[in-house]
Amino acid sequence: MTITPERMTHLKRLEAESIFIMREVAAEFKNPVMLYSIGKDSSVMLHLAIKAFYPSKPPFPFMHVNTTWKFREMIKFRDDTAARLGLNLISHTNQEGVANNINPFDHGSNVFTNIMKTDALKQALTEHGFDAAFGGARRDEEKSRAKERIFSFRTQNHGWDPKNQRPELWNLYNARVKPGESIRVFPISNWTELDIWQYILMENIPIVPLYFAKKRPVVERGGQLIMVDDERLPLLPGEVPEMKSVRFRTLGDYPLTAAVESEADTLEEIVAEMLVARTSERAGRMIDHDEAGSMEKKKREGYF
């Protein structure tokens, strides 16, 4: 009997599409970078990059924009991963923000995110002269993301103009930029949250332990559970950290990322929980709640 090619299931098709996009970027840009945010989407993106260029290593560096407010377990995971895979990892922090002690409590999540994430990212892109930056955003995350191109053009100021994006047909991506301009590339645009989890399960991809339920110290604020990851979290009058079995559906800065109560401590249980979930994952990210259309506004300013 003749052996026939493997059937292209939806996950295989998504995987092949992402690999295709990464190879285009590696071939067409002078100085690309992959943004690595340590979360599950980044873990999948990194895994796909390893696959895309095998047996070569990914021909670009990885960059983490560190706000200094990440969970400690995330930083450990990041450093372990970089060492295990021999990655060229750049960590960038907005030093001006650090000098001014910009933090989410005194300045609010909007100002904090703007300075420590958006500005920091722009600084780093300019400093290194990157002409393409991979990001792990997905179109199913949020309404304004649903219209994002896979190759999203940014001006010299890193601005995004939703009305002035290039038409994107077939898999023919226009990668041409002038000096100073850049393209944000979203290779996992067409994946959904469920696809991500299934792929992690299928490929056995390592993820940060914070995704798994464990007894952790938390306080309840405005109906959301905030983990007391270090002593920098100012406790309000009457607040006493409690040990609860919690996990995170999305990861970011610990004071801005809410935990959910859960007993799910295996990948299978996480996926099961996901299947019955009644809130979308971004609900755990407080920056989206600040104002209507806030994601669109942040993106125009250069946020991922």
* Residues at the interface with other proteins (CB under 8 A): 3-6, 8-16, 19-20, 23-24, 26-27, 50-57, 139-140, 143-144, 146-147, 162-163, 165-172, 174, 176-178, 189-190, 192, 194-195, 198, 201-202, 268-269, 271-272, 275-280, 283, 292-293, 296
- The upper half-sphere exposure of residue 285, i.e. CA atoms within 13 Å in the direction of its Cβ, equals 17
Dihedrals φ, ψ of 184, to 5°? -90, 130
- Closer to other proteins by CB, 23 or 214: give it: 23
- Closer to other proteins by CB, 43 or 66: give it: 43
Q: Are 181 and 125 in contact (CB under 8 A)?
A: no
For residues 149 and 134, what is the distance between their CA atoms, to the nearest angstrom?
12
- Closer to other proteins by CB, 97 or 136: give it: 136
DSSP string, 208-259: -GGGS-EEEEEEEETTEEEE--STTSPPPTT---EEEEEE-SS-SBGGGBEE
Question: Closest separation between CB of residue 83 and other proteins, Å?
Answer: 20
Q: Are 287 and 301 in contact (CB under 8 A)?
A: no
Question: Closest separation between CB of residue 123 and other proteins, Å?
Answer: 25
Those residues whose C-beta lies under 8 Å from the C-beta of residue 177, and which sit 6 or more positions away, are 131, 153, 183
Extract the tokens encoding 62. Answer: 């990885």
- Closer to other proteins by CB, 73 or 301: give it: 301
Question: Closest separation between CB of residue 19 and other proteins, Å?
Answer: 4
For residues 86 and 109, what is the distance between their CA atoms, to the nearest angstrom?
34
Question: Closest separation between CB of residue 150 and other proteins, Å?
Answer: 10
| Cα-to-chain-centroid distance, residue 103 | 20
- Closer to other proteins by CB, 21 or 65: give it: 21
- Closer to other proteins by CB, 239 or 269: give it: 269
Question: Closest separation between CB of residue 171 and other proteins, Å?
Answer: 7
- Closer to other proteins by CB, 101 or 178: give it: 178
DSSP, collapsed to helix, strand or coil, labels residue 56 as coil
Question: Closest separation between CB of residue 89 and other proteins, Å?
Answer: 20
Please name the helix (run of DSSP H) or strand (run of DSSP E) that holds residue 121, with its range, or none.
helix 120-128
Question: Closest separation between CB of residue 98 and other proteins, Å?
Answer: 33
Those residues whose C-beta lies under 8 Å from the C-beta of residue 56, and which sit 6 or more positions away, are none
